[in-house]
């Protein structure tokens, strides 16, 4: 898996794993499921746990030598020793959206190497949208229209489309971050779909000014990077992975490079 072809093959092998996990999620979604709070007060459902089991089994079959950091396993105290290459898994990102039944939740699988995501799959089963990408190769979406390539756009002259969290908003902090930027539209979306909307050229900027964990965004980060975008800390440096505790600082996801940012001001 050291060059583009094997990584692309690995990505293709991940797609049915993500789809199978999505089927499990939707089977629970169709029931009167119960919700519990984890130690950090975040919600968890049977869908999170069952989908994670499917993904862990799939990854063990595909790449048994690569450690897996998965959200529910970590919550249960099962944290593997990680090497320079490891998987990051969020079996159900947007559990709050799942509970609200608005469809904006995703299955997320990413491969990280040397602190950066190399490839990722983000599947929104209720929307029947699967985003995937390999850095250096490209990104694509699979939906009702089949598979087609996606890429970030140059911000339009009328201004940026900014996406923000549907369930974790901080309006004052967002206003401060956007001060001086030309914003045409502010949209809300749940889960890692925000990163994928930028990757698909449907939005330009996603500032996240609140708590997230690495598994929340790694797959979307990989798709965005494969589509030509970037994720940085607020100081402008790249967001890195394998941090102690796997917690992210505040960050921003961009669909445009530093050289084009002046067009959006």
**166 pLDDT band (50/70/90 cuts)?**
low
pLDDT at 199 over 50: yes
pLDDT at 6 over 70: yes
* Of 86, 69, 87, residue with least CA distance to 78: 69
Q: How does pLDDT run across 10-33, given as a tens digit for each residue?
A: 999 999 999 999 999 999 888 888
pLDDT: is 265 or 140 the higher one?
Answer: 140
How many CB atoms are closer than 10 A to CB 96?
Answer: 18
Rounded alpha-carbon distances, angstroms, from residue 193 to 15, 59, 175:
17, 23, 21
**Mean pLDDT score, 182-192:** 89
**Mean pLDDT score, 70-79:** 93
pLDDT at 4 over 90: no
Q: Are 125 and 23 in contact (CB under 8 A)?
A: yes
CA–CA dist 213, 202 (Å, integer): 24
User: Beta-strand (E) ranges in 192-244?
Assistant: 205-208, 212-213, 230-233
Q: What is the predicted pLDDT for the residue at 37?
A: 76
Query: Rounded to 5 degrees, what are φ and ψ at 167?
Result: -115, -5
Rounded to two decimals, the pTM is 0.92
């Amino acid at each position: 898996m050291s060059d583009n072809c094997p990584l692309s093959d690995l990505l293709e092998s991940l797609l049915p794993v993500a789809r199978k996990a999505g089927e499990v999620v939707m089977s629970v979604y169709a029931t009167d499921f119960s919700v519990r709070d984890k130690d950090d007060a975040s919600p968890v459902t049977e869908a999170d746990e069952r989908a994670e089991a499917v993904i862990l089994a799939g990854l063990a079959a595909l790449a048994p030598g690569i450690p897996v950091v998965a959200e529910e396993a970590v919550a249960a105290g099962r944290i593997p020793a990680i090497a320079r290459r490891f998987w990051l898994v969020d079996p159900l990102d947007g559990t709050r959206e799942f509970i609200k039944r608005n469809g904006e939740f995703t299955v997320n699988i990413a491969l990280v190497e040397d602190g950066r995501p190399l490839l990722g799959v983000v599947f929104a089963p209720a929307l029947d949208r699967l985003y995937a990408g390999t850095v250096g190769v490209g990104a694509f979406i699979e939906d009702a229209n089949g598979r087609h390539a996606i890429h970030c756009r140059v911000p339009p002259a009328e201004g940026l489309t900014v996406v923000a969290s549907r369930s974790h908003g901080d309006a004052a902090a967002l206003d401060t971050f956007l001060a001086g930027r030309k914003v045409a539209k502010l949209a809300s979306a749940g889960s890692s779909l925000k990163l994928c909307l930028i990757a698909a050229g449907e939005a330009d900027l996603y500032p996240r000014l609140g708590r997230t964990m690495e598994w929340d965004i790694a797959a979307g980060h990989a798709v965005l990077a494969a589509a030509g975008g970037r994720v940085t800390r607020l100081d402008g440096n790249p967001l890195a992975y394998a941090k102690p505790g796997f917690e992210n600082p505040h960050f921003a996801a961009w669909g445009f490079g530093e050289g084009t940012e002046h067009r959006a001001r």
